[in-house]
């Protein structure tokens, strides 16, 4: 899919205030969010710099609240936003009905048992340590994550993750908790050994949705991007992204 600037084709992604725009038209935009940037504005003037505010500077026609989904601040990768009311409403519906295909890549500390499977864990917010989430089998909401091991090297494991639900910090908690994979994500300051300034090695690598406006010839929108931490994966199999995509295609066929 060619990136589009307000309906005019361009030769490559647009970079606006360190925001890489992969696709743009009057109704939706796909961006590659860097880790450390909020998806939507937070509380207070110091938390107004985010994907939405940067994109609205580029797209003055955008509605005030274009986000159809979110990524954690520390997570990098693909986001789609609806710039028109029709676009945002349609995209939000696709996410709510779980019709959007998503795949994440994560680098874990250690090696989880097995080759793959399903993590089912109930968790909730710890009000005393916002935004930290804690396991709670009684009052928590259950999150579901499919996972598959891609490669291991040097005490670290590269995995593909498919969140079937969208709980806050779901992938980070499912990776780190002893009842989950028991291997925190590299660079995780909340649930692992990460320190301030470390890169969280969690990346939204693949996104497939339908263009929100009817009447277009090809409504299927598919995007796939390398993780920003791929340079640290030189010792891993060079075809890890293609392997992950093949696993994704097999999973989608089995679900149909």
Q: Is residue 255 annotated as a catalytic residue, yes or no?
A: no
Q: Counting runs of H as helices and runs of E as strands, what totals does the chain give?
A: 4, 13
Instruction: DSSP for the chain, please give it.
Output: ---EETTEE-SS-EEETTEEEEEE-SSEEEEEEPTT-BSS--SSGGG--BHHHHHHHH-TTS-S--BSS---TT-EEEEEEE-SHHHHHHHHHHHHTT-SEEEEEEEEES--SSSEEEEEEEEEE-GGGTT-EEE-TTTSEEEEEEEEEEEEETTEEEEEEEESS--TTHHHHHHHSTTTTS-PBTT-TTTSS--TTPPP-EEEEEEEEE-SSTT-S--EEEEE---TTGGGGTTS-TTHHHHHHHHHHHHHHHH-
Instruction: Give the angle subtended at the CA of 161 by the CAs of 155 and 163, to the nearest 5°.
Output: 145
Counted residue by residue, the chain has a size of 256
Which of 12, 48, 53, 18 has its CA nearest to residue 32?
Answer: 18
Catalytically annotated residue among 25, 72, 74, 188: 72
229: part of which helix (H) or strand (E)? none
Give the largest CA-CA distance in the chain: 53
* Residues known to be catalytic: 72
């Amino acid at each position: 899919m060619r990136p589009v600037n307000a309906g005019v084709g361009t030769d490559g992604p647009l970079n606006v205030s360190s925001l890489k725009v992969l696709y743009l038209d009057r109704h939706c935009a796909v961006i590659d969010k860097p880790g450390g940037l909020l998806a939507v504005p937070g509380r207070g003037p110091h938390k107004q710099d985010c994907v939405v505010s940067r994109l609205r500077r580029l797209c003055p026609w955008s509605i005030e609240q274009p986000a159809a989904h979110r990524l954690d601040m520390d997570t990098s990768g693909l986001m789609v936003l609806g710039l028109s009311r029709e676009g945002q409403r349609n995209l939000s519906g696709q996410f709510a009905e779980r019709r959007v295909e998503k795949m994440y890549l994560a680098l874990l500390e250690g090696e989880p048992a097995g080759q793959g499977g399903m993590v089912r864990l109930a968790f909730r917010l710890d009000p005393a340590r916002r935004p930290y989430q804690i396991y709670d089998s009684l009052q928590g909401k259950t999150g579901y994550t499919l996972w598959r091991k891609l490669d291991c090297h040097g005490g670290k494991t590269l995995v593909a993750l498919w969140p079937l639900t969208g709980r806050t910090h779901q992938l980070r908690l499912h990776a780190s908790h002893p009842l989950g994979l028991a291997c925190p994500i590299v660079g995780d300051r909340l649930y692992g050994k990460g320190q301030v300034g470390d890169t969280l090695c969690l990346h939204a690598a693949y996104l497939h949705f339908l263009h929100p406006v009817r009447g277009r010839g090809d409504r299927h929108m598919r995007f796939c991007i390398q993780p920003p931490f791929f340079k640290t994966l030189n010792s891993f199999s060079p075809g890890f992204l293609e392997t992950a995509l093949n696993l994704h295609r097999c999973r989608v066929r089995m679900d149909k």
